[in-house]
């Protein structure tokens, strides 16, 4: 697995020891140090999902695109990974575009949320989150702003889904 993470660094870090050290740092970040020498076939599905963010983060890009990186991870690991990602952003001050279908995750991780409409995808609204950082130091989900945003976003999404003729839930009464 370490080789998988190191592969993303071959062109930018020619020194093998330096490449390995950086890969190991990000492998530790995603909680897979004990499996650093494992082959992909020896990893669970959730572990494989955690390798992808390690590989992406190891290259330390100026802009990071994360397309549902925690979707297939168990709930506890997902929350820990969210905290680690927030800590990393605090240290690196990089820009990240985080795609998620989780309303809670969007609010927790974002400074701004871009609400997309159904097919064809289009921007419907950009919402400022306005919650204090760092967000792992307090129960952000208990904050009135979090609750307000969650309610607002869920109502908007539910309405979009129920009124979209292409949706499997079109026309249903789910109120």
Distance of CA 131 to the CA centre of its chain: 18
Q: Which tokens go with 145?
A: 């702003």
Q: Per-residue pLDDT for the chain (175 aa), expressed as one digit of tens each?
A: 999 999 989 999 999 999 999 999 999 988 899 999 999 899 988 788 788 888 888 998 888 888 888 887 888 888 988 888 888 778 777 788 999 999 999 999 999 999 999 888 899 999 999 999 999 999 999 999 999 999 999 999 999 999 998 888 888 887 7
Distance of CA 93 to the CA centre of its chain: 16
The Cβ of residue 32 has, within 10 Å, a number of other Cβ atoms equal to 20
List the one residue out of 62, 61, 44, 43 whose CA is nearest residue 3: 43
Contact 66, 58 (CB under 8 A): no
List the one residue out of 94, 90, 116, 88 whose CA is nearest residue 103: 116
pLDDT at residue 17, rounded to an integer: 96
What is this structure's pTM? 0.81
Q: Which tokens go with 140?
A: 């952000």
pLDDT at residue 127, rounded to an integer: 98
pLDDT at residue 28, rounded to an integer: 92
Give the separation between CA 130 and CA 10, rounded to whole angstroms.
39
List the one residue out of 167, 50, 168 whose CA is nearest residue 119: 167
Q: Of all residues in the chain, what percent are helix, strand and coil, respectively (each to 5)?
A: 50, 10, 40
pLDDT at residue 70, rounded to an integer: 85
> SS3 of 119, please?
coil
Cα-based distances in Å from 105 to 23, 45, 82, 135: 26, 21, 8, 12
Q: Which tokens go with 22?
A: 């950086």
């Amino acid at each position: 697995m370490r080789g998988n993470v190191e592969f993303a660094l071959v062109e930018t870090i020619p020194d093998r020891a330096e490449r390995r050290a950086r890969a190991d740092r990000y492998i530790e970040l995603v909680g897979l140090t004990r499996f650093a020498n494992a082959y992909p076939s020896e990893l669970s599905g959730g572990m494989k999902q955690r390798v992808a963010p390690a590989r992406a983060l190891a290259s330390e890009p100026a802009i990071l695109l994360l397309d549902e990186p925690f979707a297939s991870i168990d709930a506890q690991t997902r929350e820990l990974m969210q905290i680690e990602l927030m800590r990393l952003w605090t240290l690196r001050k990089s820009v990240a575009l985080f795609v998620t279908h989780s309303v809670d995750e969007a609010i927790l991780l974002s400074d701004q949320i871009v609400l997309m409409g159904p097919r064809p995808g289009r921007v419907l609204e950009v919402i400022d989150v306005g919650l204090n950082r760092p967000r792992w130091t307090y129960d952000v989900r208990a904050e009135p702003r979090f609750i307000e945003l969650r309610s607002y976003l869920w109502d908007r999404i539910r309405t979009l889904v129920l009124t979209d003729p292409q949706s499997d839930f079109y026309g249903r009464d789910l109120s």
